Amino acid sequence: MGILNRIVQSTAPWMPKKVIGRIASVYVAGDKLEDGIDLVRKLNKKGFVGTLDLLGEEVKNRRGITKTTNSYCDLIDGIANSGVDCNISLKLTAIGLKVDESLCWDNLSVILDKAKMYNTFVRMDMEDSEVTESTIKMCKKAVNYYPNCGTVLQAYMYRTSDDIDLLKGPNTNIRLCKGAYKESKDIAIQDYNKIRENYVECAEKMIKNKVYSCFATHDTWIIERIEKLIEKNNFPKNNCEFQALSGVPIDKVLDELVSKGYTVRYYIPYGPDWYPYSIRRIRENPDIWKDTMKAFFFRSKHRK
Ligand SMILES: Cc1cc2nc3c(=O)[nH]c(=O)nc-3n(C[C@H](O)[C@H](O)[C@H](O)COP(=O)(O)OP(=O)(O)OC[C@H]3O[C@@H](n4cnc5c(N)ncnc54)[C@H](O)[C@@H]3O)c2cc1C
């Protein structure tokens, strides 16, 4: 780890909350559900759709888990009542995956029942490798119960190509991303260019498997290749979408995708837990400070 990264990692918890707040506001819509909905409304007007994520990850106590489950139900109600074009993203560890799988399933069923009422799509984000297997298992079970849901696969994992086949089915909907967690070289590709190459190979497999394919990346090298794959394979534009984190300044690339007829979905985090979330992210992966500074100084105009 470089010296600057070490400094960022060790000083992050001591930085004034106000400073962290200013930086987090580049990505986070705000504390409240209405903040998230307002941002989605703004983005809808500009031709984008959204996915709202209630910030916060692993919850260990049952009360907290129930609270998170209820908040997700409120989120689904909020989306339906406001009429915005948006679905939801959630982390299974926030509803009990690491505590007890059957508790997690019970809570997920509550959320899926609510989503079913409005036909809202539910995305199960992928977290660290400790829960890759259980997340995929939970998703496979959930799709049988409520087809309008799906999970995420990470291109840095060696297993991802096999997982694409494992998830193949009539209602499969996969988000493909590079992967955000530090993983060991035994299970995950470490080289930047090899991750890119694997991303493109996995994307091609998803296209060939004819699954609904969501390409979550800000990497223009990958986006260009995927557009070519879509054309080469005559893959319908309405069977795929591009996804980006709201706040990342790649407005021009995303505007072009929209003008070509693609669906582009912004991932929008919101919620009162933005502070511990931001500190944890910086400590886990101090490299992100470089991207964060870029987003801070070259603001995305889509949020205005
Ligand atoms: C919609 C969406 C959903 C995701 N879901 C998951 C998930 O469920 N599980 C998971 O492990 N990971 C998830 N990720 C994170 C993903 O795995 C990567 O860590 C992240 O997207 C960075 O990879 P990249 O493909 O953008 O490529 P990079 O090579 O990291 O970035 C490409 C370019 O974009 C810029 N950039 C990237 N990120 C930022 C940023 N935050 N701020 C400013 N500039 C930036 C870089 O500077 C670079 O120029 C998700 C990402 C997105 C966009």
- Rounded mean pLDDT of 283-304? 80
The per-residue pLDDT for 193 is 98
* pLDDT tens-place string over residues 156-180: 999 999 999 999 999 999 999 999 9
Of 53, 123, 125, 303, catalytic: 125
Residue 259 covered by a domain: yes
Q: Is residue 118 part of a domain?
A: yes
pTM of the predicted structure, to 2 decimals: 0.95
pLDDT value for 8: 59
Quick check: is 241 in a domain?
yes
Whole-angstrom distance, CA of residue 286 vs CA of residue 6: 7
Q: Is 175 a catalytic residue?
A: yes
Report if residue 256 sits inside a domain: yes
Of the candidates 123, 175, 265, 303, the residue annotated as catalytic is 175
Q: What is the pLDDT of residue 18?
A: 79
Residue 246: pLDDT band with limits 50, 70, 90: very high
Question: Of 6-10, 22-26, 192-196, 217-221, where does mean pLDDT reach its minimum?
Answer: 6-10
* pLDDT tens digits for range 9-21: 666 666 777 778 8
What is the Cα–Cα distance from 9 to 302, expressed in whole angstroms?
30
CATH no. for residue 250?
A: 3.20.20.220
Nearest-atom number in ligand 1 for the CA of 181 is 11
Q: How far apart are the C-alpha atoms of 62 and 54, rounded to whole Å?
A: 18
- Please state, in angstroms and rounded to a whole number, the distance separating the CA atoms of residues 75 and 136: 23
Largest Cα–Cα distance in the chain?
52
| 15 or 110, higher pLDDT | 110
Q: Which domain holds residue 37?
A: 6-303
pLDDT at site 2: 66
CB within 6 Å of ligand 1 — which residues?
125-126, 152, 154, 177-181, 216-219, 243-245, 248, 267, 291-292, 294-295
Cβ-based burial of 12 (10 A; exposed 0-12, middle 13-18, buried ≥19) = middle
Task: Tell how far the Cα of 218 is from the centroid of ligand 1, in angstroms.
Answer: 6
d(CA 151, CA 141) in angstroms, rounded, equals 12
What is residue 13's predicted lDDT score, i.e. its pLDDT? 66
> If phi over 0 gives left and psi between -120 and 50 gives alpha, with beta otherwise, what is residue 54?
beta
Classified as helix, coil or strand, 200 is helix
| 280 lies in some domain | yes
91 found inside a domain:
yes
Instruction: Determine the atom of ligand 1 nearest the C-alpha atom of 294.
Output: 43
The pLDDT value given to residue 304: 86
pLDDT score at 220: 98
CB 32 within 8 A of CB 270: yes
Kindly give the residue spans of alpha helices, DSSP state H, lying in 233-266. 251-259
- Asked if residues 172 and 212 have their Cβ atoms less than 8 Å apart, the reply is yes
162 as an active site residue: the answer is no
**How far is C-alpha 95 from the chain's CA centre?**
16
Q: What's the pLDDT tens digit per position in 172-219?
A: 999 999 999 999 999 999 999 999 999 999 999 999 999 999 999 999
Closest CA to 144 of 117, 176, 107, 105: 105
**Domain annotation covers residue 238:** yes
Mean pLDDT, rounded, of the chain = 93
Total number of domains in the chain: 1
Type of residue at 255? D
Report if residue 1 sits inside a domain: no
CA distances 215 to 128, 138, 141, 154, Å, are: 19, 22, 23, 11
pLDDT at 62 over 80: yes
pLDDT mean over 12-36: 85
Token readout for 156 is 């840095």
